A and B are shown apart, each in its own frame.
Chain A
Amino acid sequence: GAVVSQHPSRVICKSGTSVKIECRSLDFQATTMFWYRQFPKQSLMLMATSNEGSKATYEQGVEKDKFLINHASLTLSTLTVTSAHPEDSSFYICSARVGGQGGNTEAFFGQGTRLTVV
């Protein structure tokens, strides 16, 4: 299957600083990438859909000014958590989709990033 690489896998930052998480599709072009947040022992919560060359579509309740998403190329999307606070500590996962729209298009997931804000 296609490979999605997420970096870093783990990051600790001080409260008030910003953190950037990268999501790369290594062997395919991803027109659409998704960013999820996962709380302990819970399911994945979709934060936003990132489309190459256009603004991301954020889910209701997700602060777009706090979680900046950039999808500058067909192989890279970044999530920047700005002015991070301890409540932003979580596991963030990206996924990338091969091809265009259609439910039969499989999404491939990155390894996830464990963010801890102290």
Chain B
Amino acid sequence: AQSVTQLDSQVPVFEEAPVELRCNYSSSVSVYLFWYVQYPNQGLQLLLKYLSGSTLVKGINGFEAEFNKSQTSFHLRKPSVHISDTAEYFCAVSESGGSYIPTFGRGTSLIVHP
């Protein structure tokens, strides 16, 4: 079984500053990795995903993430955040070759201050 750890429950940052949201996973097999964003009272929107190939994945809204197999991490980054990036961010993992039932981390609340 896989698990996901999002180390920070809340990340405050000033507008236009860079940000990194951390995600570590554990699994005994190869995995697929995802980052989702959730705005208040809404469902989840996929930001980006890693399936295979290049370990640096670029997503929507200027976000990117890097898959590091040796460190079992998939940290999300953005070089310059906007107020509109304030939201809840979820990291998720599913085991490759298995049925697609992702396991979600507990979420990180990104709060962008003006």
Cβ-defined contact, B46 with A1, below 8 A: yes
A-side interface size class:
20 to 34
Whole-angstrom distance between the alpha carbons of A108 and B101 in the complex?
12
Q: Is A75 an interface residue (CB 8 A)?
A: no
Q: Which of B31, B43, B100, B105 contacts A109 (CB 8 A)?
A: B43
Interface residues of B in 79-99 (CB under 8 A from A): 90, 94-99
Q: Which residues of A contact B106 (CB under 8 A)?
A: 42-43
Q: Is A93 an interface residue (CB 8 A)?
A: yes
Q: Is B51 an interface residue (CB 8 A)?
A: yes
Interface residues of A in 5-19 (CB under 8 A from B): 6, 9-10
Q: Is A105 an interface residue (CB 8 A)?
A: yes
Cβ-defined contact, A43 with B104, below 8 A: yes
Assuming the contacts A101-B99, A104-B32, A104-B96, asked whether A42 and B107 have C-beta atoms less than 8 A apart, the reply is yes
Binding site for B on A (CB under 8 A): 1, 4, 6, 9-10, 32, 34, 41-44, 46, 49, 91, 93, 95, 97, 101-112, 114
Q: List 6 A-B contacts (CB under 8 A).
A: A6-B43, A10-B41, A105-B100, A109-B44, A110-B43, A112-B43
